[in-house]
Amino acid sequence: MKKLLVLITTLTIAIGAYAQIEAPVKWAYLAKRTAATEAVILLKATIQPGWHIYSQNVKSGGPIKTSFTFAPSKDYVLAGKVAEPKPVTKFEPSFKMNVTYFEKEVIFQQKIKLKTANATAVKGKIEYEVCNNLKCVLPPDVNFNIPVAK
């Protein structure tokens, strides 16, 4: 009976460890005021070795591109589109096309114009796909709430 209990416990732990969601990307956020009525939102992805996330500008028929949705607010408006550095471009046989992506880390930037000096936070979500040489993972959307310091 004792051996059966040990076996069941071991199997339960092994199944639980296997079922955990892979998280090869960690996100960090920061808002910096650049003027009294302007700020820039920095969204940094730190990517584990061997993995990559895709640019915002992937053509249709390819992987899921990284996208940012900002919650509407009476405190600010977006100034332009989310900027990204120059990505790596490479042919990926699994998608049968050239794709653009980032490895190791990438910082996306969104400029905002503040409608009020009392703006306190920028909220939204990030959608993306992360792949390595063997597989792709669709992590859950990442919600963010970034304080805007005065």
Residue-range domain boundaries for the chain: 23-147
CA distance 86 to 71: 26
* Residue-averaged pLDDT of the chain: 86
Per-residue pLDDT tens digits for 9-38: 444 444 433 434 578 999 999 999 998 889
Q: What is the pTM of this model?
A: 0.82
The one-letter amino acid code at 58 reads V
Answer whether residue 46 shows pLDDT above 90.
yes
How do residues 124-141 score in pLDDT, each as one tens digit?
999 999 999 899 999 999
For residue 64, which amino acid is it?
A: I
Q: Rounded to an integer, what distance in angstroms lies between the CA atom of residue 43 and that of residue 121?
A: 14
> Could you tell me what percent of the chain has a pLDDT over 90?
69
CATH of domain 23-147: 2.60.40.1250
